[in-house]
Structure 1
Amino acid sequence: MTTAAPPPREVLPWNRFGEASRELAQLVSGGGWMPDLVIAVARGGLIPAGAIAYALGVKAMGAMNVEFYTGVDQTLPEPLLLPPLLDTSVLAGAKVLVVDDVADSGRTLEMVMRLLRTGSAPATDQHVRAPSEHLPAEARSAVLYTKPRSVIEPDYTWRRTDRWIAFPWSTLPPVTAAATTEA
């Protein structure tokens, strides 16, 4: 009996991640645009957003918690905005850079950008609305990777790939109490 070969993976080690973050920050600043605030799409965008904010010298940060992927190529029917919600009153008139690790299907990034640009989330989350006076003056997006099937084209992309990406912060399984007591 033969087993199927694992799908090809794009591996991003920690040292290359540091270089990638700085290169992505240079793409953002290279056009003369500079954000007032960096928003991470949690969880995958938290580490890239922090690195990019440092590289750009931006101290103001926030996060939007979104759940969509539940495993390799396994998703919920729609991206779901999770609490705690971002205080949108701080966004009024600001230039905002939204950072995520990857625009795979692009549906998570599309939802976040729609919320920041129009004040409303998708039909499944109509109770989530930002008052129009809380909308940023401009919202742009940056990702480490964009896949060909993404429904949205991020404003800034470091690399393009059709492979599953092994990020250094998510390659190992979660630490659990049972795993730590076995060691």
Structure 2
Amino acid sequence: MSDHRLPHEKGFHISWDQIHRDSRALAWRLDGQGPDDGAWRAVVAITRGGMAPAMIVSRELDIRTVDTISVKSYHAGGGKADKQSDAEVLKSPDADLMGDGTGILIIDDLVDSGKTLELVRELYPNAHFATVYAKPKGRPMVDTFITEVSQDTWIFFPWDMALQYVEPYRGTD
């Protein structure tokens, strides 16, 4: 019997409460680990998924300098699950702020294959890369993470979901 599950059938559903708790846990793990007497100079969110965790980490660690880097590494699969393509930077953070990345926390929600972080790491080799969730293929690209999930798990983030009515499995009366 072969396994013909769709991505959502081995899903890991993350609520807003859970991403908040896990992002706070990430902040606690990063607290005091920066190169400047434990401090970090700035947080850079990888858009779009890294924005919510970066906001929480920057709040928890009282880091007021926050920027973004926008990297596109997925494209729509024409009705199928998204497929990865070559990563490209669409928007870079402030160059004077970044330098080689020393003292910078780069935050994303998830590392999957590692392509996105590999590209960003080439640009900022001394930055510290942190994600809330990590899959095995991408784990070598991350310095700090909270939860590892299997490579074939599809993570459903709260910003990708909507609440809606679902018909009961048996009958409607």
Give the partner amino acid of 2:112. D
Match of 1:64 in 2: 69
Give the partner amino acid of 2:136. P
Match of 1:41 in 2: 46
Counterpart among 16, 28, 43 of residue 26 in structure 1? 28
Counterpart among 92, 97, 100 of residue 105 in structure 2? 97
TM-score norm. by structure 1 comes to 0.73
Counterpart among 110, 115, 127 of residue 107 in structure 1? 115
Match of 1:170 in 2: 160
Find runs of 4+ consecutive structure 1 residues off by over 4 angstroms. Answer: none
Give the partner amino acid of 1:88. A
Give the partner amino acid of 2:138. S
Structure 1 distance, partners of 2:48, 2:74, is 11
Quote the RMSD (CA, aligned, Å). Answer: 2.1
Match of 1:75 in 2: 84
Partner of 2:124: helix, strand, or coil?
Answer: helix
Partner of 2:158: helix, strand, or coil?
Answer: coil
Deviation at 1:92, TM superposition (A): 3.8
Q: Are 2:11 and 1:9 aligned?
A: yes
- Pair 82,31 (structure 1): closer, same or farther in 2 beyond 3 Å: closer
8 A Cα contact 1:142 1:156, kept in partner: yes
8 A Cα contact 2:43 2:104, kept in partner: yes
8 A Cα contact 1:110 1:152, kept in partner: no
Give the partner amino acid of 1:110. E
Structure 1 distance, partners of 2:113, 2:161, is 20
Q: Aligned pairs, how many? A: 148
Query: What pairs up with 1:88-167 in 2 under 5 angstroms?
Result: 88-92=95-99, 94-117=102-125, 138-150=126-138, 152-162=140-150, 163-167=153-157
Deviation at 1:73, TM superposition (A): 4.7
Structure 1 distance, partners of 2:5, 2:120, is 35
8 A Cα contact 2:99 2:124, kept in partner: no
Match of 1:87 in 2: 94
- Pair 95,30 (structure 1): closer, same or farther in 2 beyond 3 Å: closer
Structure 2 distance, partners of 1:65, 1:146, is 19
Deviations 1:43-95 (A, max 9, x none): 1111111111111110101111100022535112x101113x32211224851
Match of 1:51 in 2: 56
Deviation at 1:145, TM superposition (A): 0.8
In the alignment, structure 2 segments of 5+ residues that lack a partner are 163-173
Deviation at 1:30, TM superposition (A): 5.4
TM-score norm. by structure 2 comes to 0.77
Deviation at 1:151, TM superposition (A): 6.3
